[in-house]
Structure 1
Amino acid sequence: MIDILLLIGLLVSMGSFIHIHRQSLKVELDKPDTKNINWYPLIIISKRQLRQAGIQINKILISLYCFKVAATFSAFTVIELIGYELSQSIKLLLCFMCFFAPECWFLLRKNQRQTTINNSLEFFLRVLLVYMRAGFSLERSFALAVDHGLSQKHPLYKELKLFLFELSAGKDREFAFNSLFERTGVMGIKKLANLMLIGSKLGTPLIQAVEAQLEGLALKKNILLAKKVNKKAMHTTFPIILICFPMFLVLVFFPAALQVMNVLKMLVEVL
């Protein structure tokens, strides 16, 4: 009976996980979510963090609760099958951890997604700059850069498609850029939005804003590279010292010590 319950729990968990994963890959070009709900009961991460992980909570809310309950039920069944004598408090603690384990996966997914977007942002901006220098408008340059600079499975591709959809729907640039930052949480996009909005208000060319963002990204990359080089140098210095110092003692100090001992021995014999 316990085996059947465990199988049911695993099947429900796998089904909910697959549904959540597939729903998260869709670009939300449908009706915007009008509900002003940022937190849901028994979910310890916010709706904004879920969206930054690529999860549209309004589409998978029931599956998410089923996933959490099934994971907890499966964990309790496994504990009963193991046969170890555990106290009730430890069992409750393990089930509690399994109930909130999906949130840890969402946070990990969010960090991976932001890293992927951050790594591709510089290349996208370079492609965007090429089209802007060719004389295309901002919206047209974004559309061409998205189609030719990113793959359709890339998270930045999906978010920028939604950004272009909002612009074509009549939203102003400030709202579209702020929404793009809210959906991704990448500071590079926030800086680009600020530069472009300030440039539009002051009348400066938007090409300069993109160039300034590229310079900032290049400077940040050089700083990170220098830190990695310095860290690697620190890691290699200790093994070098550990190997070379005994050799230095044998080759330099040991012969000198023998000479000093011989001189002292001769002085003792003379005296």
Structure 2
Amino acid sequence: MERVNELLAALGIVAGSQTVLLQGIVAVGLFVAILGIAAVFRPSTAVQIRRMQAVASPLSGRDIVRPWDNDPTGALRLFVPHSGTERSKISARLRQAGIHKVNALRNFFLVRSVLALALPGCFVLAVWFNQSLPTGLSQVLEPLSRLETPQAFMIAVLLVVIGFYGPSAWLSSKVAQRRKSVTRGMPGALDLMQVAIEAGLGFDAAMNRVAKEFGRFCGPIAEEFTILQLEIQAGKPRDMAFAQLERRTGVDAMASFASVVQQSAEFGTPISQALETYSIEMRLDRELKAQAKANQLPVKMSAVLAAFMMPILLLIMLTPIAIRWVTVLTP
């Protein structure tokens, strides 16, 4: 607070007007923030969106059917990219992470922008207004008040980077975790689907059955199968629905599954036999990958062993020589 007062005094603002100026700045900032948040979460009144929401009302709890992310308007232009390619890329990654909320894209950019501003803002406030905080909190944050200006600036820049790129790193980890879960659960899902088909169910009914029973073991697969069946029931062509399934998951195993199902339907081969063959191939591929990783262990461990053992071996070999030299050279 003292630094702010000194800065205002240097600008020619008297002590009596400093409080009024600070209150005005805080009031304007709060007003702009409230307007921006209200504009972000204000429901859209577009005719197409109202129609889609009316049709999708029975499924609104699952947030599966939702409109495409259009160009940002109003306050959204402050933090949502204008490039449609960038928005499509982030939207695809959000779906690959299993996030199907209506405003997932704009909420992601909103959180990223708020964190990029809030983290350094809170740090700067803690540095400047440390004396005005409650006693307990002021004692905890007291080391921050002793920071030099260059150090505080570097920490604030680091917090900006963390706040801006932190959500992207979290999203990448979420996508990787979901892809791994889908890859591990696909063989079991295919076996269960094969059993359901051989028991007399059709392909769509078998997929619904797998989605219902497999949710306890692999939620992402059950969710993707449910979305696929809902899209097919809504009238989307089957090939387009499978293409969207591949895009939503981003997993090669799911893309191969879509190809197997489409080729089986096109050439008239039994779908159960195709699923059994592909399930065996997936397990064999997993075994080969595990063997490849096991074969890489000696090579990877050699560098670690050399890094930790070579200094010790050199020390063991050179220590007697060093002792001999010291004994000989010492008068």
TM-score (norm 2): 0.57
Name the counterpart of 1:155.
Answer: 220
How far 1:142 sits from its partner (Å)?
A: 0.7
Q: Which has the higher contact order (CA 8 A, sep 6+)?
A: 1
What secondary structure, in the 3-state scheme, does the structure 1 residue paired with 2:81 have?
Answer: coil
Within 5 Å, give how 1:68-147 maps onto structure 2. 68-80=112-124, 81=127, 82-83=144-145, 84=147, 85-86=149-150, 90=154, 91-92=156-157, 94-147=159-212
Identity of aligned residues (%): 21
The alignment yields a C-alpha RMSD, in angstroms, of 3.7
Q: Could you tell me which of 103, 110, 114 is aligned with 1:59?
A: 103
Structure 1 gap segments, 5+ residues each:
9-25, 247-271
What secondary structure, in the 3-state scheme, does the structure 2 residue paired with 1:54 have?
Answer: coil
Name the counterpart of 1:33.
Answer: 67
Q: 1:52·1:184 contact (CA, 8 Å) conserved in 2?
A: yes
Structure 2 gap segments, 5+ residues each:
2-25, 31-60, 72-79, 128-143, 314-331
2: CA distance, partners of 1:107 / 1:196: 29
2: CA distance, partners of 1:63 / 1:36: 14
Name the counterpart of 1:221.
Answer: 286
Q: 2:91·2:105 contact (CA, 8 Å) conserved in 1?
A: no
Query: Structure 1, residues 83-140: CA drift from partner, whole Å, max 9, x if none?
Result: 4332797444641442232111111111111111111111111101111112211001
153 and 232 in structure 1: CA distance in 2 versus 1, 3 angstrom threshold: closer
Count of matched residue pairs = 222
Q: Could you tell me which of 191, 210, 215 is aligned with 2:256?
A: 191
How far 1:50 sits from its partner (Å)?
A: 1.6
2: CA distance, partners of 1:96 / 1:134: 56
Within 5 Å, give how 1:158-169 maps onto structure 2. 158-169=223-234
Q: Which amino acid aligns with 2:184?
A: N
Q: 1:48·1:183 contact (CA, 8 Å) conserved in 2?
A: yes
2: CA distance, partners of 1:171 / 1:65: 30
1: CA distance, partners of 2:150 / 2:67: 45
Q: Which amino acid aligns with 2:276?
A: E
1: CA distance, partners of 2:219 / 2:284: 25
1: CA distance, partners of 2:286 / 2:109: 41
What secondary structure, in the 3-state scheme, does the structure 1 residue paired with 2:290 have?
Answer: helix
1: CA distance, partners of 2:250 / 2:63: 17
64 and 130 in structure 1: CA distance in 2 versus 1, 3 angstrom threshold: same
